[in-house]
Amino acid sequence: MAHFLFNLFAAFTLICAAGVVVSKNAVNGALCLLLSLVGVAGLFVGLNAYLLAFLLLLVYAGAIVALFLFIVMLLDVKGDQRPGLKHLPLVARLVALALVAAGVASFLAHGRLVAPAAAAAPALGDDLKLYAYQLFTTYLLPVQIIGFLLLAAMLGVIVLSKKFEGLEDIK
Amino acid sequence: MIAPTLNAYVAIAAVLFALGFLGVLIRRNTLVVFMCLELMLVASTLALVAFSRFNGTMDGNVFVFFILTVAAAEVAVGLAIIVALFRKKQTIQVNELNSLKN
């Protein structure tokens, strides 16, 4: 069952991610991104990271994709041409192809990670307790910095979105 | 059927990252480029969670928590920049935004 769910969510994630890349319409791209994130959240559940799966759905799927859809519909950009490779010079194509081939070859040759068997998952409450303990002891300073980052981002977005009278003539 | 080993998780993260990178390279719409950037970020978090799980530590999960927060801030600022750009230039196609070229 775990194998089946892993394969299902992995295929779902990758197919929807490909949909983001090839979709002509930006709204379809945003919806594909949403589905891809749901697939990643499923993979997180397979890795016993329940809190992160929930946060991913809440923050990414709930807030970020909604923001994307909002901006896509606000700007209403028309006439995005189909993503193509025609404008790329031949040298760039050859170099890209060689790099991909080298990557795949090296993955096949020695892409075996020495994986320890997955550690026994702690009970659900212990897991969260460990998480919170780390956040408020080892990583206390980063938590504070993240708070300031969010504040700075909020102020920056307000300044960016506000129209200033004197700045209109700057080209 | 592929077994859910560390190798498989990291391979999926790598393919997801490559797809996002491909999108950043070939798409012309700035919004879609930004979405593909998010895809790359999520791929890196997937690898972190997988490593964290298979090594029995919580540090990777805590890092992912921070990455999610930074991603939220980044998307807010990035979309504000794109809207400001559209107001100024009336376009968000990457190939038409070439003011720095000459």
d(CA B82, CA A160): 10
Q: Note whether A57 and B68 are within 8 A (CB).
A: no
Contact A135 B65 (CB under 8 A): yes
Q: Note whether A24 and A82 are within 8 A (CB).
A: yes
- Does a structural domain hold residue A170? no
- Does a structural domain hold residue A41? yes
Q: The domain that contains A54 carries what CATH number?
A: 1.20.120.1200
Contact B76 A56 (CB under 8 A): no
**Fold (topology level) of B6-93:** Helix Hairpins (1.10.287)
Q: Could you tell me the CA-to-CA distances from A91 to A95, A105, B19, B23, B26 in Å, in that order?
A: 6, 21, 21, 19, 16
Examine the fold and report which residue of A44, A79, A114 is the final residue of a domain before the chain moves on: A79
Q: Note whether A23 and A83 are within 8 A (CB).
A: no
d(CA A20, CA B95): 20
Examine the fold and report which residue of A24, A56, A79 is the final residue of a domain before the chain moves on: A79
Same domain, A132 and A59: no
Residues B30-65 have pLDDT tens digits of: 999 999 999 999 999 999 999 988 888 888 889 999
Q: Is B97 on the interface with A (CB under 8 A)?
A: no
Please tell me which residue of chain A has the smallest CA distance to B81. A160
Q: Note whether B2 and B65 are within 8 A (CB).
A: no
Contact B70 A149 (CB under 8 A): yes
**Average pLDDT over chain B, rounded to an integer:** 89
Q: Note whether A50 and A69 are within 8 A (CB).
A: no
Which residue among B14, B46, B93 sits closest to A43, beta carbon to beta carbon?
B46
At A130 the pLDDT is 82
At A103 the pLDDT is 86
Domain boundaries, chain B: 6-93
Contact A113 B86 (CB under 8 A): no
Please tell me which residue of chain A has the smallest CA distance to B63. A139
Domain count, chain A: 2
Cβ-Cβ contacts under 8 Å, B3 against chain A: 3, 6
Cβ-Cβ contacts under 8 Å, B55 against chain A: 116, 119
Element (H, E) at A140: helix A140-161
Beta bridge partners of B93: B29
Contact B8 A6 (CB under 8 A): yes
Contact A161 B56 (CB under 8 A): no
Containing structural domain, residue A129: 125-163
d(CA B67, CA B29): 25
Same domain, A6 and A73: yes
Q: Note whether B46 and A49 are within 8 A (CB).
A: no
Instruction: Split chain A (171 residues) into runs of 10 and give each run's mean pLDDT.
Output: 90 94 89 95 91 91 90 76 67 88 85 69 74 89 94 92 67 48
